Chains A and B, each alone.
Chain A
């Protein structure tokens, strides 16, 4: 199928985050917990509008993608995450950017 024109594609924001937790977690654990905390806090309708995706996650840091109008809601649902696999954990947003490259360069490289 032909790809959507750039001007028609949904605009996004990329949140660089770090995981602070009792035990290390994998990307799929984070995906599961973020979506479940978002659907519990915001409801399924708003969560679908947020368009939350966990792009990459390694060494305790990663990038979450969301709709550019729903950054606040996404942050709130990341704050509402308290446990991953039953172990206490929290996600700390390091910063937001309009591109993956920007988020990586600004917040993930030391």
Chain B
């Protein structure tokens, strides 16, 4: 087994965040990531798409974080953005939106599912997430920046979601949700923090390398890909 590749799946560059794409990319590369996803909020999209920098040995993916309050509009947005982005994230926060996101297999990740007095998941939604392959995103920025009672609430929500995810085998993704380069954390620090928050070592590792890799593979199929399960293999001595 080679060295695992680490990905940060939710990074907000300017104009949503404070830092430019170049700053975030060079810091993430310095921290030892193999790639990051630059996510833009769908409710404040800039007029034109920013060009993604091409760097050898480092991948930058285009992502979108859908912020929407009605499920039918959400499904519309998913259809609109699915083909032009590598990673499609839904910003949860109400029962209807969480449900709509987890029941749609075209969604990759649901972030911030918690609302009011609930962790945002229950057995029904967890099962839907596992069936549709939608990952639950665990965002570190809010956990790192808050203290005291707020953080205690978030950690207990996280633990509740973790229990459900273990039982129903829901994929989890750990991401920084960075708004500036000071919110980025190195992979080893994220692993240590996740373990302190209740993750097992291999769960944390999966959430930062294996699950992201699987999502990318699904959305960026190889050259011979025709449809799910059908692929043209190169080479002569296949048969």
Q: Is the CB of B182 within 8 A of A79?
A: no
Q: Which residues of B contact A89 (CB under 8 A)?
A: 182
Report the interface size for chain B: residues with CB under 8 A from the other chain: 22
How many residues of A sit at the interface, in one of the four size bands? 20 to 34
Q: Which residues of A contact B144 (CB under 8 A)?
A: 79-80, 82
Say if the beta carbon of B192 comes within 8 Å of chain A.
yes
Say if the beta carbon of B195 comes within 8 Å of chain A.
yes
A7 CA / B198 CA spacing, docked (Å):
33
Minimum CB–CB distance from A46 to chain B (whole Å) comes to: 9
- Give the secondary structure class of B's interface: helix
Say if the beta carbon of A76 comes within 8 Å of chain B.
yes
Q: Which residues of B contact A75 (CB under 8 A)?
A: 188-189, 192-193
Contact residues of A between 57 and 97, Cβ < 8 Å to B: 71-73, 75-76, 78-80, 82, 88-90, 92-93
Which residue, B147, B151, B180, has most C-beta atoms of chain A within 10 A? B147
Contact partner, B196, options A21, A72, A88, Cβ 8 Å:
A72
Contact residues of B between 172 and 218, Cβ < 8 Å to A: 180-186, 188-190, 192-193, 195-197
Q: Is the CB of B145 within 8 A of A76?
A: no
Q: Give B201's nearest chain A residue, CB to CB.
A: A72
Q: Is the CB of B189 within 8 A of A79?
A: yes
Q: Give B31's nearest chain A residue, CB to CB.
A: A92
A79 CA / B189 CA spacing, docked (Å):
6
Q: Which residues of B contact A22 (CB under 8 A)?
A: 182
Q: Which residues of A contact B185 (CB under 8 A)?
A: 79, 90
Q: Give A46's nearest chain B residue, CB to CB.
A: B196
Q: Is the CB of B186 within 8 A of A92?
A: yes
Contact partner, B189, options A40, A42, A88, A93, Cβ 8 Å:
A93
15 contacts between A and B (CB under 8 A): A20-B181, A20-B182, A40-B147, A72-B195, A73-B196, A75-B188, A75-B189, A76-B189, A76-B196, A76-B197, A78-B189, A79-B189, A89-B182, A90-B183, A93-B186
- Which B residues fall within an 8 A CB radius of A? 27, 31, 144-145, 147-148, 151, 180-186, 188-190, 192-193, 195-197
The 3 closest A-B pairs by CB, nearest first: A75-B192, A79-B189, A88-B182
